[in-house]
Every structure is written in C-alpha cells, then in structure tokens.
C-alpha cells in the first residue's frame, strides 16, 4: 500500500471514529504530525478525499470535514438514486445466470453477516452487492461516481450505526432485485432500486436526527 493510500485510510478511520467531527478544520501540519509522515502524502490524501465530497476546500485552501445536514443527505441520495436506477435498468437487460453469480454470492455473504449480527460485514457485503450489479453495465464513469460516494456512505453509517432491525428489509429488497435481474424485468428493477435507496435515506436521516449533536458537531 502506498503512503498516500495509508494516510487516506487512516484519515477516513479517524473521521468514522469521531476524532475529526463533521465540520472540523484539518491542516497539513496537524495531520503530518499525527501520522508521522511528510507533507506530500497528506496533500495527496486530502486531494483524493476532497474529490469524494468528504472534505470541503474553500477559496483560501482551508480544508474541513464536510458538514452533514438534511440537505447534504438529500443531495447525496438523489445523486446515488438516479445513478443506481439507471445502472440497474441496464443491468436487467444484460444479466445472465453466469454474470449474476457474484451478485448472489455477495447477497449470501450479507445474509450470513446479518445472521451473525455483524454490522460491519453487512455494510461491506452490501457495498459489494451493489458494485456487482453496477459492474454488469460496464458504465465506467457512473460506477466511478458511485464508488466515490460509497466512502461518504460508509462514514455516515459508521457514525450513526446500522441497526439489526434494518437487516431484514435490506435482505428482502436485495432478493427482489435479484429476481428482477434474473427475469430481465427492467421496469421492476428500476422501481425496486429507487425504493431501496429512498428507504436507506429515510433510515439514515432518522438516525442522524436522533444523534444530531454528535453527528453534526463542529470542532
């Protein structure tokens, strides 16, 4: 792993853990000291993370962790919903029994993690499930946009928690999506994915509201 990727991963982990709250200002000197590296890999990591929307850079070059409020979440999910509905409709036209195997495998892993109460495993399997569907389309540009958003999604869910009560709903949604893909039902795939994303948005907003002081605090 390159030093840039190491610093990026450590910074993301610190943001998930709340070491750097949403809205907190970050400086290259502070991060270089914390991670015991030179300025260069820190600059590269900040540049890469700013492209995901996780970090905000103002005209003076000051860097902050993004502010999270209802509008931020609404915009994030509006973009994700539009892209994933488009991609799943294409995937429904292209899917074959062979190409759906990775999708089914990730779903099986997700269900195993849910049964074990492994929230982190569920989140990882959920990401891989969606990536496997998107990969069926070979739409590189759209997939790249969604992949960047997954960093934000994982941080938000990591901060507010992902209760086991949502596992059953996710599993049911995914099973219906697999059926729509397997039967080449384009319309059903699009409707199901749209509803799936909206339900996730409502759940996330509800959890943010319950934890508002911790989630939106500014250093």
Residue 139 has a CB neighbour count (10 Å cut-off) of 17
What is the dotted CATH code of the domain comprising 70-212? 1.20.120.530
Q: In this model, does residue 215 exceed pLDDT 70?
A: no
Cα gap 148→54, rounded to integer Å: 9
What pLDDT score was predicted for residue 216?
A: 46
- pLDDT at 217 > cutoff 60: no
Q: What is the CATH number of domain 3-65?
A: 1.10.10.10
Instruction: Kindly tell me if the per-residue pLDDT of 48 is higher than 50.
Output: yes
pLDDT higher at 216 or 114: 114
**Cα separation of the two ends of the chain:** 31
**pLDDT tens across 160-190, in order?**
777 777 899 999 999 999 999 999 999 999 9
Q: Residue 3: pLDDT above 70?
A: yes
* DSSP secondary structure letters along 6-75: HHHHHHHHHHHHTSS-TT-EE-HHHHHHHHT--HHHHHHHHHHHHTTTSEEE-TT--EEEPP--HHHHHH
Mean pLDDT value across residues 10-37: 90
Q: What is the pLDDT of residue 212?
A: 61
- Mean pLDDT, rounded, for 118-143: 93
How does residue 213 score in pLDDT terms, banded at 50, 70 and 90?
low
**Rounded to an integer, what distance in angstroms lies between the CA atom of residue 123 and that of residue 153?**
10
**pLDDT at residue 195 is higher than 60:** yes
Does the pLDDT at position 219 exceed 70? Answer: no
Domain ranges of the chain: 3-65, 70-212
Please give the pLDDT value at position 151.
80
Q: How many CB atoms within 10 Å of residue 42?
A: 25
Q: What per-residue confidence (pLDDT) applies to 21? A: 87
Residue 103: what pLDDT? 98
Model confidence band, residue 70 (pLDDT cutoffs 50, 70, 90) = confident
Residues shown for the chain:
219
Averaged pLDDT score across all residues of the chain = 89
Q: Which residue has the higher pLDDT, 15 or 125?
A: 125
d(C-alpha 116, C-alpha 9), whole Å: 26
Query: In the chain, what are the helix, strand and coil shares in percent, each to the nearest 5?
Result: 75, 5, 25
Instruction: Kindly tell me if the per-residue pLDDT of 136 is higher than 70.
Output: yes
What is the per-residue pLDDT across 74-109, written as a single tens digit (0 to 9) for each? 999 999 999 999 999 999 999 999 999 999 999 999
């Amino acid at each position: 792993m390159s030093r840039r990727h190491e610093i990026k991963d450590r910074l993301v982990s610190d943001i998930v853990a709340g070491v750097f709250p949403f809205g907190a200002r970050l400086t290259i000197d502070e991060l270089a000291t914390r991670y015991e590296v030179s300025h260069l890999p820190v600059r590269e990591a900040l540049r890469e993370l700013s492209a995901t929307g996780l970090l905000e850079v103002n005209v003076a070059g000051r860097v902050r962790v993004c502010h999270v409020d209802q509008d931020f979440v609404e915009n994030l999910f509006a973009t994700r919903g539009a892209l994933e509905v488009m991609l799943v409709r294409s995937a429904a036209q292209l899917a074959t029994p062979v190409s759906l195997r990775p999708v089914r495998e990730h779903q099986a892993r997700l269900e195993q993690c849910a049964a074990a109460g492994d929230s982190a495993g569920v989140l990882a399997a959920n990401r891989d499930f969606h990536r496997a569907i998107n990969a069926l389309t070979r739409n590189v540009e759209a997939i790249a946009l969604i992949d960047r958003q997954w960093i934000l999604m994982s941080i938000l869910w990591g901060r507010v928690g992902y209760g086991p009560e949502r596992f059953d709903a996710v599993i049911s949604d995914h099973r219906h999506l697999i059926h729509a893909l397997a039967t080449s039902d384009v319309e059903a795939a699009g409707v199901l994915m749209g509803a799936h994303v909206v339900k996730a948005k409502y759940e996330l907003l509800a959890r943010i509201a319950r934890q508002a002081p911790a989630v939106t605090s500014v250093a």
